Amino acid sequence: MSTDHGSTTGTDHRSPAGTDHTAALRSVRAWVLDVDGCLMRTARPGGAGGTPMPRAGDLVAALRRAGHAVVICTNASQRPPAEYAAHLREQGIDVPDEDFVTAGSAAADHVAAHHPGARVLPVGDVGLAGPLAARGVEIATPGGPLADVVVVGAASEYRTEVINAACLAVDAGAALYTTVDTPWFHGGVGRSVTVSATIAHAIGWAAATSPQVLGKPSAFLAETLLRRLPGPPGRVAVVGDASAEIRLARAMGAVSTLVLSGAITPEKLAPLRGADRPDVVLDDVAALYDLLSESLPMTQGAPS
Ligand SMILES: [Mg+2]
């Protein structure tokens, strides 16, 4: 179908091969929704300080009312998931704490599962250290025994002694992880450098290695999300504004849906080919709401 659902740019929803994937989108029953540049327009990660995109609250409410599974997934990691979720609720996007996944909580899940008993040095803020501690992970401190694992997340400030401890540990063989691995952040207002990724790569540089990403679009996060979402991957959609969500969808085997309200502009989309190109392109979540309103009981109280 090629109808322009609320489009302001005349976006073609079809892939380069001419396949219409909007039909696949209508059969989706589980959703992974990005925050910055997708549900929220913001200059800071996790929707902090931002305002909702048009229809963002309506979309989430309608999907949940229709009985669909909805996970809100952000690469933000500075604050705990519950804090970001509370802010979204204040903005009219009704998401329970347990359905909000951050790159910090995803990293803590990975470390707890794959490094049992390890001493872990978080280089970040409470949004990383909190989920690690909540999973019973031993936290390393600078000046103490070297960490077995170093994880870098977002923070307003980074302390020299923590970065030094991280470099010493990684140089001695500790695993090095980063919550996010994209150089630039874009939440629909303007871009800024992703300081956490920059710090992670700096630590890797000092120790002659590279950090492994645990947030979007990591295979680990893809597996974690697929485990908690019902149905086959073909009935899952990942919606976001950046290549991280396109690549996460590929890792999941899900329907990738790009909204042009953040990082990727029509000019940046044009050269994308093959797996880099999203299955469905829409102007924003309002266009997604319009598209789904034809096939869902969007204004009804009862699940379909
Ligand atoms: Mg985004």
Of 197, 213, 229, which residue sits at a domain end? 213
282 Cα–ligand 1 center, Å: 14
Beta bridge partners of 99: none
213 Cα–ligand 1 center, Å: 16
Of 213, 234, 249, which residue sits at a domain end? 213
Residues 77 and 221 in one domain: yes
Residues 116 and 207 in one domain: yes
Tell me which residue of 12, 2, 41, 37 sits closest to 266, measured CA to CA.
12
Residues 124 and 269 in one domain: no
Compute the distance between CA of residue 49 and CA of residue 46 in angstroms, rounded to an integer.
9
In the chain, the number of structural domains is 2
pTM: 0.87
Range of the domain at 55: 22-103+216-293
Per-residue pLDDT 10s for the chain (304 aa) are 333 333 434 444 444 444 567 788 888 999 999 999 999 998 777 777 789 999 999 999 999 999 999 999 999 999 999 999 999 999 999 999 999 999 999 999 999 999 999 999 999 999 999 999 999 999 999 999 999 999 999 999 999 999 999 999 999 999 999 999 989 888 777 788 999 999 999 999 999 999 999 999 999 999 989 989 998 999 999 999 999 999 999 999 999 999 999 999 999 999 999 999 999 999 999 999 999 987 776 544 444 3
Residues with CB under 5 A from ligand 1 (ion): 34, 36-37, 241-242
31 Cα–ligand 1 center, Å: 15
Of 166, 195, 213, which residue sits at a domain end? 213
3-state secondary structure of 215: coil
